A and B are shown apart, each in its own frame.
Chain A
Amino acid sequence: MKRHILMVVGMAYFGLPILAAAPNFSGSWVKDNSKSDPVPNPLMLRETPQARGGGGGGRGGQGGRGGGPMPMVVSQESNSLQVTEPQGGMRKYMLDGKPHSTAMETGVQKAAVTASWQGDMLVVSSTEPYGGMPGNVTAHIKEVWSLSPDGNTLTIATTRTIPAVEKTYKEVYTKK
Chain B
Amino acid sequence: MAKNISRRNVFTGALTGLAASAVPQTASAQAAKMVQRVGLPDVWGQDFLYQWSPPENVKRDLTPGNALLRLSHPQMVSAEGTDYDKLFKSMRAGGWTACEAGSAQWLANKVSDSQASEIKTALKANDVIFYGIHCAGNIIAPDPDADRWQRHIIDAVNSGEQMGCELILTHTGSMYPNRNTPHPLNWSKEAWTRSVNALKRICKDTAGGKVKIAIEPVNSEAINNPWAQKRLREDVGDPRISSGLDITNMVDTSNVFRMTELLNTTFELLGDQIAYIHAKDIVWNGMQAGLNWVLQATGCMDYEVFLTHISRLKKDHVNILVEFLNAEEEYQQAQRNIRSIAGKVGVKIHGTQPAA
Contacts and interface: CB of A to CB of B under 8 A. Distances in A.
B336 A164 contact: yes
A135 B301 contact: yes
B300 A133 contact: yes
A68 interface: no
B340 A163 contact: yes
A162 interface: yes
A43 to B, nearest CB: 6
Nearest to A106: B257
Nearest to B294: A46
Interface stretch (B66-74, B87-95, B160-168, B280-288): B280-288
A134 B260 CA distance: 8
Contacts of A135: 60, 259-260, 297, 301-306, 341
A163 B295 CA distance: 11
A133 B294 CA distance: 13
A57 interface: no
Contact of B333 (A48, A56, A164): A164
A112 to B, nearest CB: 16
A44 B286 CA distance: 12
Interface string A43-76: 1111110111110100000000000000000000
Given A131-B299, A133-B300, A134-B58, A44 B337 contact: no
A26 interface: no
Contact of B298 (A45, A51, A108): A45
Contacts, number: 94
Contacts of B285: 43-44, 47, 51-54, 56
B292 A51 contact: yes
Contacts of B297: 130, 135-137, 164
A165 interface: yes
Interface in B71-119: none
A138 B341 CA distance: 9
Nearest to B307: A135
Task: Classify chain A's interface size.
Answer: 20 to 34
A9 B280 CA distance: 57
A46 B325 contact: yes
B299 A133 contact: yes
B330 interface: yes
Interface in B157-180: none
Most chain A CB atoms below 10 A, which of B287, B298, B301: B298
B292 A47 contact: yes
A134 B259 CA distance: 9
Contact of A50 (B286, B305, B333, B336): B286
Determine which residue in A43, A45, A48 has the highest number of CB atoms from chain B within 10 A of its CB, and name it: A45
B293 interface: yes
B336 A45 contact: no
A53 B286 contact: yes
B283 A44 contact: yes
25 contacts: A44-B285, A44-B294, A45-B295, A45-B333, A46-B292, A46-B294, A46-B325, A46-B330, A51-B285, A53-B285, A53-B286, A53-B287, A130-B298, A133-B257, A133-B301, A135-B60, A136-B299, A136-B303, A137-B297, A137-B340, A138-B344, A163-B336, A163-B339, A164-B298, A164-B333
Given A136-B297, A137-B298, 12 more contacts: A43-B299, A46-B330, A47-B292, A51-B290, A51-B292, A53-B286, A108-B54, A135-B60, A135-B303, A162-B337, A164-B334, A164-B336
Q: Which 7 A-B pairs have the closest CB atoms?
A: A135-B302, A164-B333, A163-B340, A135-B304, A45-B295, A51-B286, A137-B297
